[in-house]
Amino acid sequence: MTRDALEDAVRTYAAGLEAELTLLGQLQRLATAQREATNTNELDRMTKIGEERERVLASLVAIEHEIRSIRTLLADTREQVAALDGFARVVALHRTAGSLVQAIVSSDEETMQALREAELARRLTAAAIELGDNTLAAYRRVIAPPLTAASLLDRHG
């Protein structure tokens, strides 16, 4: 492959990474907003954010699909492209993308933990309510036993 073709591949790949970084930045903001919505129990907002995340992720996947073959080419010719202008920038963009992905994953893990804790609290509350209902029913039976019809002994007594 010619030097010009490799330089063009580096430029194209860098542009793809920049587009991905823009989308990753949007995902990071959405992940933070989703975590906040989880903490404040805003279910409608969480749903809207989830839908927006799906849209952004679809765009990210589309870009990734487009630059995958270029990444493979650059990896296969790494020794040649390492000396080209722009390659250091590509490496830096990769690192930045990796950092953003890690931040998004971390935020998502916090969101999932908050959701698990909310579900546990909901279950404990439901169990406490059920136990309270059972206790009240038993108390009601002791305090106010059901009235029964007069028996034979009550008439002759």
Position 58: which residue type? A
Q: Over the stretch 63-93, which tens digit does the pLDDT of each residue have? A: 999 999 999 999 999 999 999 989 999 999 9
Q: Is residue 152 part of a domain?
A: no
Contact 47, 98 (CB under 8 A): no
Per residue in 94-152, pLDDT tens? 999 999 999 999 988 988 888 888 788 778 777 777 777 777 776 666 676 666 655 55
Query: What is the domain extent for residue 23?
Result: 3-143
Kindly state whether residue 129 falls inside one of the protein's structural domains: yes
Counted domains in the chain: 1
- Asked whether residue 156 is assigned to any structural domain, the reply reads no
If you ran DSSP here, which 8-state letter would residue 147 be given? P
Which of 123 and 25 is assigned the larger pLDDT?
Answer: 25
Question: Would you say residue 54 lies in a domain?
Answer: yes
CA distance 37 to 85: 44
The phi and psi torsions of 145 (rounded to 5 degrees) equal: -65, 150
16 is a domain residue: yes
Tell me if 110 is assigned to some domain. Answer: yes
Domain presence at residue 133: yes
The CATH code of the domain that includes 119 is: 1.20.58
**Distance of CA 129 to CAs 119, 122, 123, 136, Å?**
15, 11, 10, 10
